[in-house]
Structure 1
Amino acid sequence: MRLPALPATLAALALVATGCTGSDGSGAEKVADRLAAQLQHHTLTGVPLESRSTVFDDQVAALKKYDVAVAASRVKADGDAATADLRWTWRIGTRTWTYRTTAHLARTGDTWKVDWRPDTLAPGLTDQERLEVARTTPARADILGAGGRPIVTQRRIYRYGLDKARVPAADVPALARRVAKAVGIAPGPFVTEAKAAGPKAFVEAIVLRPSDARDHVDPDFGHIPGALVLAGTRALAPDRDFGAELLGQVGPATAEVVQKSKGRVESGDEVGLSGLEGRYDEQLAGAATTEVRAATVTCTPAGACTRTGQKRVLADWAGHPGSPLQLTLDVDLQAKAERILAAAGGERSPASAIVAIRPSTGDVLVAANGPGNHGLNAATFGQYAPGSTFKIVTSLALLRAGLKPQDMVTCPPTIDVDGRRFKNYADYPASRLGKVTYRTAIANSCNTAVIGQRDRLGGRALADAAASLGLGVDHDLGFPAYFGQVPPASGETEKAADVIGQGKVLAGPLAMATVAASVAAGRTVVPHLLAGKAPAADPRLPLTAPEAHALHDLMRAVVTEGSGRFLASLGGDIGAKTGTAEYGTARADGSLPTHTWMIATRGDLAVAVFVETGESGSQTAGPLLKSFLS
């Protein structure tokens, strides 16, 4: 067994072993030092012994995974007998257990040997006792949503598996294969696990919610000899898909997690492996109550020992329960958004997301990912070209440069910039071409009109406008959050692409919902998902109330006369902006696939809807937005 290096503090203590002194010369001292050195490796191998211990390995077995420093000192000889003080410092998880014992040595001729006794290992230990470490982990704390509603909490589960104690050993492989088939898991690994488990072990095959059992478990399961279902609880969300990409997963600790925990986590612990569950594992998990005990055993002449139930506590440390993690998610709205995305397509559908923010507070109410994301957290950490939704940012920069919503601009079918031709989306209304107001150009999302105004924007104008709306400035919010980028354009073509949300401009649903929220709030909003995690916005050019009002009027025009007219039937003061952005590799007909977007404000709600591949913002993302706002 390769032992880990001792922590620095334990290693320093171990060095003391080389400095012990005694009255009989160096012989006993050297043997005491040798004993201390080997005990640090949980073994007596290499130590000269008066008689070989038959129980040492069994007694220390439960502590072999813990580091220990042993220092020998005060070696005192009296004729052919000697004693040495041993100072033990164990690292039991995150706790330290320190005590002293006495080692006995005997001399025959010129040779000193250790007269090993069990109480040299631990105070008062006898041949009839074995050391054990008992850890009791508290139930995992809840993750809560808005209003303190539980999101992840202890929910009922069923553990399906094979009870080896109820079947002949020879039948285990065949029965394990039947159990695996009945619960829908791969039989090979389960058969291997069942064969390797102890003769009386319950070998778990799958853990299911009661609502999932009907779909996953064959009725034949109950007729398989040894098949067993154990009821229990586990920290779970309302359903397997609820906020899955954001919340993360809980499961058995991996070797990597154990190593990084520095003793807090041990093999077999249930820990957060990803998402918020992983990042806040220490808070949610609390600390285990730990005891080091001497358990009494009875042994047969053949050496088989069983515990009697009698135990002495040698050391103990009280644990504590975890603390709930408070989120701002609205449980009902999150569930609604996920149902809408699921209804739009299954796992073969494009990646999609809906994010909703309360502008007045910055609370993230929804961070929903579609079934086609396959674990990708597109909602808060997606990085995509935002297309024409970014025209709200460009409009702020142009307003600051002196353009007014009623100013006339030109919206041609195409526009050439340094040899590259830009055009409007395929079904752009012909009646809105030519000379139109800037308000009309935004309402109908005219690319060429916005590109034609790019010369008004110099230096940091676009980046400053983005920052004023909460885009392009990173914050550590305690969860994966991407706020986009608006880098300087390297030329006129790139600048033309940037102002319509392509080029090198990137954002995600969270970032674009933040833009909409800032417009609605009349100030720069920094969204937050965790209670107490709300850094203040500090843009170089703060958003003003008149600017926000003008932007809201532009978004309102999208609904009253432009590409978002289908939202008008919902009533209320809804503002919106559609977006489509080309990406990727051209299809056979030469066209490029397109990201589709739509952002909106309605009262104290700001929403961004994203579908990775679709027809257009109004045709693909729009219906999802309308369903959400309905």
Structure 2
Amino acid sequence: MTFAGERVARTRRILVGGTVLVAVAAGLAACSSEPPGPDSATKALAAALTSGNFAKAPFAGGTADASAATAARTAAYEGLAPWAPQVAVVSTTIDEQDKDLATVTLGYTWDVDESDADWTYETHAKLARDDEDVWHATWSPSLLAPDLVAGEVLTVERARADRANVLGAGGAVIVEPRLVHRLGIDKTRIAAPEQDAAARELAGALEIDAEAYAGKVASAGEKAFIEAITVRDGDPNYDVAALAAMPGVNDVTDTIPLAPTRQFARPILGTVGPATAEIIEKSDGAVSDGDLTGLSGLQRQYDAQLRGLPGLTITAAQADGTAPRQLYTVEPTPGTPLTTTLDVGLQNAAESVVATIAPASAVVAIRPSTGDVLAAASGAGGEGMSTATLGQFAPGSTFKVASALALLRSGMTADSDTTCPATVTVDGRSFTNFPEYPTDKLGTIPLRTAFANSCNTAFISARDAASQDALIDAAGSLGLDPHAALGFPAFLGDVPGDSDGTDHAASMIGQGRVLASPLGMATVAASVARGATVVPRLVVPADGAATQEPTPDDTASSGEPTDAPRPIVPLTADEAATLHQLMRGVVTEGGATFLLDVPGDEVAAKTGTAQFGEAGNLQNHVWMIAIQGDLAVAVFVDVGEYGSTTAGPLLEQFLRAAQG
């Protein structure tokens, strides 16, 4: 291999030693094109520095330089994983004195956080063209980072940003740092032979798995603190002082983001804790070991917004940490608060309503004028799932609001006659009314009476006037849109499009394959109250922030819609006014007269009971929905007697609490 300086010397010898050869060389030069520039080599060098694959890097030292570059790059960047740089050619300058020499400026871009700002810098490489017109670069560690020398590596130190609060209606603080007690065995406080017994005693007091906890204590280091439980300060269920006084137990105080109570919208808001290995791996370097992150619910979905951006300091130093040089620093950026529409008072009232209900249960309240979700409480029977927003249950007779709308659109009025027999048979299947249905409301009765008393057979008898498509359109007009994207994990409702015969008959009374959530049925009531289709809102997007999609884990239980999206047929004010009258009739003359004396604006409501389970062991989902002023409410209990007798008292309790 001969470089430019050597080629110049050889040319001079030829000029001195042979005029004929000079003439030939001169003639060839006159006919040939300009020798190639260094662009191909500089692009190959930038690509190699980006990928870390130096097999085709244009180094003068060939494979030896490639091996050295590979080893140096791996060692230098290991402390920045999983980040990797993008390297591009910024400029190339040919030496004015020697056209066979050049300098290339390489621009580095590191995407080190989720902001638009990146860590950028430039390095420089020397190139020379050999006698075969091939350009080669000189390898140096300084190609990797500014002034980097052999043996230096890059490391990053993070400074955690302040996690932002979760706010409710009116800017009320819902989730904020609150004092907690981390209780566990501190192995420096108790002799080794006594640690197993101490661990088991603590586990017994906390009613956790003693064998598993004792195993953790045994496997931990000799000076380890092994946390058994985190208890919020003031939790009446735990005597922290007594627990801390047990042998070997340490009480480590800390603060973590918490809602006002353990139950407060927990399935929706989610929890915060140390980042899991899965979260760290999926974060592309945004989250590291020891960071606090959202683990579920809105805390996880909006984690990037809430946690802010960590402060970063990137340093170059020898592998043993000596001679450090700071290359880049950025201060932490606090998180941006997540604003929800939850009303603290109403959410607490809803939590109180479901607090003692054993089966899965929910209370949802919406402000019809805005669509804001004011409360969404899920009882403990849901085992941590947000029954309020993700539950999928047959809505029973509360769905008759949609069926009534479909009948109104077919030309019926509230005073149109319907037929309410004791039994109606469709394709061999018999449908009846609930056992306590008033016998004096059988026979030919107006639609308003059939609605007020929830006559199943009347709605089923009128099924030919309301096709399945008409039911789907009516449900959509009332807000039961299976394709709605709400900015939080939610299921509203779904009416299958392929129902006929007995399945269509069942759809008329909210059974069969019709599904809805408590949120969905509260939306139905809200749409009636507003006089237009309501889209529920729980999260208020931050200024300039994109709506975050729910995580797969949070949406897994929401299911897939049975049909493709279809246009929403607008609900008219006149339609809503008639539906409101029908719902008021449930209170004045139907199954919800117990709501007549609720203080405040008059109440309009609808009861609902939906059978489920195996024949011979049928049970009832029970519902009630109601409207009072600018408030729409849905109450649900997974297993109960009837809507009026099980869900009704819970609804009344909530409405009275809402009045203050």
Q: Do the two structures share a fold, i.e. TM-score over 0.5?
A: yes
CA shift, 1:619, in A, is: 0.9
Structure 2: distance between partners of 1:403 and 1:9: 73
Describe the shift of the 1:532–1:318 C-alpha distance in structure 2 as closer, same or farther (beyond 3 A).
closer
- Does 1:18 find its partner at 2:18? no
Structure 2: distance between partners of 1:610 and 1:208: 31
Give the aligned partner of residue 514 of structure 1: 523
1:242 match: secondary structure: coil
Q: Is the 8 A contact 1:182 1:217 kept in 2?
A: no
CA shift, 1:70, in A, is: 11
For structure 1, the 5+ residue unaligned runs are: 1-7, 23-27, 44-59, 72-84, 103-115, 298-304
Structure 1: distance between partners of 2:250 and 2:318: 32
Structure 1-normalised TM-score?
Answer: 0.79
Give the aligned partner of residue 229 of structure 2: 206
CA shift, 1:144, in A, is: 0.5
Structure 2: distance between partners of 1:64 and 1:473: 42
Instruction: Specify the structure having the higher radius of gyration (Cα).
Output: 2
Q: Deviations over 1:200-220 (max 9, x none)?
A: 554433221012275265725
CA shift, 1:315, in A, is: 2.7
Describe the shift of the 1:39–1:193 C-alpha distance in structure 2 as closer, same or farther (beyond 3 A).
farther
Give the aligned partner of residue 53 of structure 1: none
Alignment of 1:211-610 (within 5 A): 211-212=234-235, 215=238, 217=240, 219=242, 221-225=244-248, 227-293=249-315, 312-343=325-356, 345=357, 349-458=358-467, 460-532=469-541, 540-571=568-599, 572-586=601-615, 590-610=616-636
Q: Is the 8 A contact 1:149 1:331 kept in 2?
A: yes
| Equivalenced residues, count | 563
CA shift, 1:130, in A, is: 8.6
Describe the shift of the 1:18–1:130 C-alpha distance in structure 2 as closer, same or farther (beyond 3 A).
closer
2:253 match: secondary structure: strand
Describe the shift of the 1:486–1:21 C-alpha distance in structure 2 as closer, same or farther (beyond 3 A).
closer
2:235 match: secondary structure: helix
1:154 match: secondary structure: strand
Structure 1: distance between partners of 2:521 and 2:406: 16
Structure 1: distance between partners of 2:244 and 2:343: 39
Structure 1: distance between partners of 2:444 and 2:288: 70
Give the aligned partner of residue 629 of structure 1: 655
Describe the shift of the 1:224–1:313 C-alpha distance in structure 2 as closer, same or farther (beyond 3 A).
farther
Give the aligned partner of residue 68 of structure 2: 35
Structure 1: distance between partners of 2:608 and 2:309: 49
Describe the shift of the 1:223–1:377 C-alpha distance in structure 2 as closer, same or farther (beyond 3 A).
closer
2:639 match: secondary structure: coil
- Does 1:619 find its partner at 2:645? yes
Structure 2: distance between partners of 1:294 and 1:545: 69
1:139 match: secondary structure: coil
Structure 2: distance between partners of 1:125 and 1:178: 57
For structure 2, the 5+ residue unaligned runs are: 1-45, 89-104, 126-139, 548-564
Give the aligned partner of residue 156 of structure 1: 179
Q: CA RMSD in A?
A: 3.9
CA shift, 1:486, in A, is: 1.9
Describe the shift of the 1:135–1:200 C-alpha distance in structure 2 as closer, same or farther (beyond 3 A).
farther
* Segment of structure 1 superposing worse, 211-220 or 312-321: 211-220
Structure 2: distance between partners of 1:296 and 1:40: 14
Give the aligned partner of residue 100 of structure 2: none
Structure 1: distance between partners of 2:144 and 2:500: 78
Structure 2: distance between partners of 1:220 and 1:261: 38
Q: Which amino acid aligns with 2:52?
A: A
CA shift, 1:604, in A, is: 0.5
Describe the shift of the 1:429–1:459 C-alpha distance in structure 2 as closer, same or farther (beyond 3 A).
closer
1:388 match: secondary structure: helix
Structure 2: distance between partners of 1:63 and 1:395: 63
Q: Which amino acid aligns with 2:399?
A: F
Give the aligned partner of residue 75 of structure 1: none
Q: Is the 8 A contact 2:50 2:87 kept in 1?
A: no
Structure 1: distance between partners of 2:450 and 2:318: 85
CA shift, 1:396, in A, is: 1.1
CA shift, 1:228, in A, is: 2.5
Q: Which amino acid aligns with 2:369?
A: S
Q: Deviations over 1:571-629 (max 9, x none)?
A: 4311000011111223xxx2511111100000000001111111110011111101001
Q: Percent identity?
A: 47
Q: Is the 8 A contact 2:123 2:142 kept in 1?
A: no
Structure 2: distance between partners of 1:120 and 1:488: 61
Describe the shift of the 1:99–1:197 C-alpha distance in structure 2 as closer, same or farther (beyond 3 A).
farther
Q: Is the 8 A contact 1:101 1:123 kept in 2?
A: no
Q: Is the 8 A contact 2:314 2:327 kept in 1?
A: yes
Structure 1: distance between partners of 2:142 and 2:188: 34
Q: Which amino acid aligns with 2:172?
A: R
Structure 2: distance between partners of 1:613 and 1:468: 29
- Does 1:147 find its partner at 2:170? yes
Q: Which amino acid aligns with 2:349?
A: K
Give the aligned partner of residue 128 of structure 2: none
2:622 match: secondary structure: strand
Structure 2-normalised TM-score?
Answer: 0.76
Q: Is the 8 A contact 1:93 1:266 kept in 2?
A: no
CA shift, 1:150, in A, is: 1.0
Describe the shift of the 1:214–1:491 C-alpha distance in structure 2 as closer, same or farther (beyond 3 A).
closer
Q: Is the 8 A contact 2:123 2:145 kept in 1?
A: no
Structure 2: distance between partners of 1:34 and 1:499: 75
Q: Is the 8 A contact 2:507 2:513 kept in 1?
A: yes
Q: Is the 8 A contact 1:66 1:93 kept in 2?
A: no
Structure 2: distance between partners of 1:17 and 1:402: 78
Q: Is the 8 A contact 1:17 1:70 kept in 2?
A: no
2:538 match: secondary structure: coil
Describe the shift of the 1:90–1:500 C-alpha distance in structure 2 as closer, same or farther (beyond 3 A).
closer
Structure 2: distance between partners of 1:65 and 1:118: 21
Q: Is the 8 A contact 2:169 2:344 kept in 1?
A: yes
Describe the shift of the 1:125–1:502 C-alpha distance in structure 2 as closer, same or farther (beyond 3 A).
same
